[in-house]
Structure 1
Amino acid sequence: HLRELDLRYNHPGDSGVRALSAAKLDTLTLLVDHGGENRTKPGPRKYGCQLTLDPNTAHRELSLSEGNRRVTHTPGRVEPYPDHPERFECWPQVVCRESVCERCYWEAEFSVSEGE
């Protein structure tokens, strides 16, 4: 009898997870966490992950927005972040809350405003 269904590397999508979960099979363990729906995407996008910037580490000349997923360098303008021992003070940098391990894929957009 099937006791465990491991779909971590072959994610069935949200509708598939709902259908399998609705079956209410008492003896079946459903594993779908690793990579989630990203695993169904072609090419390197299957290794994608959403990263959240940590406001406790953000340099005061960095402004976080869009749910801490976007950072803007604001030279000369200081953000009112509270003091924190992990805050970067010398260079404008910030780290993510999530750790990145195994294979992953992420994209960054970079732009420079006119006059800089």
Structure 2
Amino acid sequence: MKKSMILTVVTVLTLVLGITVAVAATSDPGSETDPIVTKSYVDSKSSYTPISLTPGQKLIGGVGTEVILRSGEATAIGNSSNGVSDITAGTDLMTGQAVGLNHLLLIPREDGRGITATTDIWVMVRGVYSIQ
């Protein structure tokens, strides 16, 4: 009697383990059913995009957009009471103030803040933005 009980328990445990493995194997990595973050997802969200602008063009950022001026000259576009966060200098750049080369800028809100190219420029951008 004890042998049959042990055999039944082992069989049930084997079935449960087999079903668990089968369900896990059918999930797509990174999908809603398997939410592990993949390296390709992280790479796509963490890389900067190089953008070229000509004089007078504006780069307007969304919430949390990061901008680094790599070459040329540009000025900040703030709103009526606040500017663009210059993380490198620890300051707020108000409309018309010069953007420093290689300074990391952060757009805190989606309210029209960004930069205006005064010469041909190259910037590195991470996040949502539009060119005007």
Q: TM-score range by the shorter chain?
A: under 0.3
Return the TM-score normalized by structure 1.
Answer: 0.25
Q: More strand by proportion, 1 or 2? A: 2
Larger gyration radius, structure 1 or structure 2: 2
Q: More helix by proportion, 1 or 2? A: 2
Q: Considering Cα pairs closer than 8 Å and 6+ residues apart, tell me whether 1 or 2 has the greater RCO.
A: 2
